């Protein structure tokens, strides 16, 4: 395996691509009991329209997530059960861009890895089992529809985007998932669960040769085709709707403002762009910014306030939000602060300490196996090396942040999503 040592963060990483095209990454962790494996496919909630063979397929919203649920079914029963019997804690999630399956175990690691590789690569669905899952997923959808954080995000994405599938919920709707059949699931599996479109990440004290040998043995020999995807007609940088409001059972209003940004390039530039976006958010409105301190002491925001820059396939945006009794005042204050920074510049000393804190936070994240594995998988799919963050931090200047703020944090790019409390919502016996 190809070994890279990252002295500044005390890390070593091994990479190897199997003959079938699957990239395998091992992050050694000598003194840990835990071993962690993550098997990911570059296929998420946004991959609804794609070309299979000669034909363009339109698939129902929520299908990647549905497929994730059904993958645990095996001809023999259920992989979740098999793994749990070995003391492993298996789970999976589907995001906009990827689906991952992972487990955490202290014993029988190789045996568990074999189960993971097998159940993810061998689909087994019947019409009956697909129909049954609709009950469970409909309950899950019902549960998230009661979650104000989810609804405020959903509304924001619908306000920001006109064509991009980013506006569609990863889980789909009770209606959309009713169109899913065993056949559509097989089609999607065939298209996206191929060595060429996946990667395997292992974190822990494992024998690298054994891992490679097992993956080689269990997984298909064919690499699979590169699938063409369609993320909808190009988006303008103006949001589709300026403002969306609705009412729910919440104790105080909650809001999310979004600023549409241009799509970021692939490769190392993508990571640099990502860090610039996050640093710009921190300098402008992060926990240690003057704006945060002022809004907090004025009671306009509380500890729930947060902001970040998010990159999805084909689209990017900055979001900021939390609970507030006056969301509009908070948003106005953010816009004003952006203007102030553009006029007065960013204090160099302030910038240096925010960058220092960010570096510390990124380093701390390396305590988490999950965080390491997910960032490795994202780096693999996005063609960048996430462990190069110290060098990227070194290369970013105040000017980069000001340029980001100037380009993106302005009213014309902004949409606002608000959830108001329902009136008189006391419980009744």
Partner 1 sequence: MNRNRTEIMQNVFLTYLPDRKFKTGYLSAQFITPLRKETASANALLPAVLHRGTMRCPDMEQLSAAMDRLYGAQIDYTVRKKGETQCVGFVASVIDDSFAPGGERLLEPVAELLGEFFLDPVTRNGRFLSEYVESEKTNLIDALRSVRNDKREYADLRLMQEMCAGEPYGVRRLGDEESARKLNNRTLYQRSQELMSSSRLELFYCGSAQRERVTDALLHAFAALPRSAAADIEPARFYDAPAQPRIITERMDVTQGKLSMGFRCQSRDVPAMIMANLIFGGSSNSKLFLNVREKLSLCYYASSQYARSKGILTVSSGIETKDYDRALEEILHQLKAVQQGDWEDWELTGARSVILSSLRAMNDSQSAMENWSVGQIATGQSETPEEMARQLNEVTPERICAAAESITLDTVYFLKGKEDA
Nearer to partner 1 among residue 61 and residue 414 (C-beta): 61
Q: Residues with Cβ < 8 Å from 294, sequence gap 6 or more?
A: 333
Q: Which has the closest alpha carbon to 381: 41, 146, 116, 93?
A: 41
Binding site for partner 1 (CB under 8 A): 8-10, 29-34, 78, 80-81, 84-91, 104-107, 132, 135-136, 139-140, 142-143, 145-148, 248-252, 254, 287-288, 290, 292-293, 296-297, 299, 302-303, 323, 353-354, 356-361, 363-364, 366-367, 422, 425, 427-429
**Residue with Cβ nearer partner 1 (236 or 288):** 288
Least separation, in Å, of the C-beta of 25 and partner 1?
19
Q: Which is nearer to partner 1, 186 or 359 (CB)?
A: 359
- The three-class DSSP label of residue 359 is helix
Give me the least distance between CB of 21 and partner 1, in Å please: 32
- In this complex, which beta carbon is closest to partner 1, that of residue 80 or of residue 315? 80
> Is 218:117 a contact under the CB 8 Å cutoff?
yes
Say what angle helices 182-192 and 63-71 make with each other, to 10 degrees: 90
Separation between Cα atoms, residue 199 and residue 92, nearest integer Å:
15
CA dist., res. 67 & res. 73, Å (int):
10
Nearest to 29 by CA among 357, 388, 360, 370: 370
How far apart are the C-alpha atoms of 371 and 150, rounded to whole Å? 22
Residue tagged active-site, from 2, 33, 55, 68? 68
Shortest CB 137 distance to partner 1, Å = 8
Shortest CB 166 distance to partner 1, Å: 24
d(CA 61, CA 77): 27
Min dist CB 371 to partner 1, Å, is 11
How far are the Cα atoms of 27, 46, 127, 235 from residue 60, in angstroms, in the given order?
Answer: 37, 11, 16, 21
167 neighbors 158 (Cβ within 8 angstroms): yes
Backbone φ, ψ for residue 94 (5° rounding): -120, 125
Look at the block and give the residue holding tokens 């979740």. Answer: 80
Nearer to partner 1, 263 or 287 (CB): 287
CB closer to partner 1 out of 181 and 352 = 352
Helices 63-71/127-145 angle, 10° precision = 120
Known catalytic residue at 68: yes
Quick one: 358 or 408, whose CB is closer to partner 1?
358
- Residue 411: CB minimum distance to partner 1, A: 27
Give every strand in the sheet of 89-94, ordered side by side: 2-6, 11-17, 23-28, 198-204, 35-41, 99-105, 89-94
> Annotated catalytic sites, by residue?
68
């Amino acid at each position: 395996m190809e070994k890279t040592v990252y002295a500044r963060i005390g890390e070593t990483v091994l990479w190897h691509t199997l003959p079938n095209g699957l990239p395998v990454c091992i992050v050694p962790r000598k003194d840990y009991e835990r071993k962690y494996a993550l098997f990911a496919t570059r296929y998420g909630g946004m991959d609804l329209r794609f070309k299979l063979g000669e034909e363009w397929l339109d698939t129902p919203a929520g299908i990647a997530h549905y497929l994730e649920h059904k993958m645990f079914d095996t001809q023999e029963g259920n992989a979740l059960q098999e793994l749990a019997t070995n003391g492993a804690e298996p789970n999976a999630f589907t995001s906009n861009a990827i689906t991952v399956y992972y487990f955490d175990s202290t014993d029988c690691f190789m045996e568990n890895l074999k189960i993971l590789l097998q159940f993810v690569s061998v689909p087994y669905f019947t019409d009956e089992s697909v129909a049954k899952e609709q009950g469970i997923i409909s309950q899950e959808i019902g549960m998230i529809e009661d979650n104000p954080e989810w609804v405020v995000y959903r509304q924001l994405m619908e306000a920001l985007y006109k064509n991009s599938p980013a506006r569609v919920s990863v889980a789909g709707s009770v209606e959309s998932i009713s169109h899913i059949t065993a056949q559509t699931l097989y089609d999607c599996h065939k298209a996206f669960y191929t060595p060429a479109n996946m990667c395997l990440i292992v974190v822990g004290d494992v024998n690298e040769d054994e891992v490679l040998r097992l993956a080689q043995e269990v997984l298909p020999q064919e690499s699979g085709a590169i699938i063409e995807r369609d993320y909808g007609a190009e988006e303008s940088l103006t949001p589709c709707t300026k403002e969306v409001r609705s009412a729910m059972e919440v104790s105080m209003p909650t809001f999310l403002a979004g600023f549409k940004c241009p799509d970021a390039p692939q490769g190392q530039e993508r990571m640099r762009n990502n860090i610039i976006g996050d640093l710009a958010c921190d300098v402008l409105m992060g926990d240690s910014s003057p704006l945060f301190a002022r809004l907090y002491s004025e009671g306009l925001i509380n500890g729930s306030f947060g902001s970040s820059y998010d990159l999805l396939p084909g689209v990017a945006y900055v979001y900021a939000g939390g609970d507030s009794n006056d969301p509009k005042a908070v948003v106005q204050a953010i816009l004003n602060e952006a203007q102030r920074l553009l006029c007065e510049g960013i204090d160099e000393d302030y910038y240096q300490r925010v960058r220092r804190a960010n570096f510390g936070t990124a380093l701390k994240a390396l305590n988490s196996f999950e965080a390491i594995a997910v960032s490795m998988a994202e780096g693999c799919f996005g063609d960048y090396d996430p462990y190069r963050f110290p060098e990227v931090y070194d290369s970013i200047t105040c000017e980069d942040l000001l340029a980001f703020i100037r380009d993106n944090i302005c009213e014309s790019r902004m949409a606002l999503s608000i959830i108001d409390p329902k009136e008189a919502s006391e419980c009744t016996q």
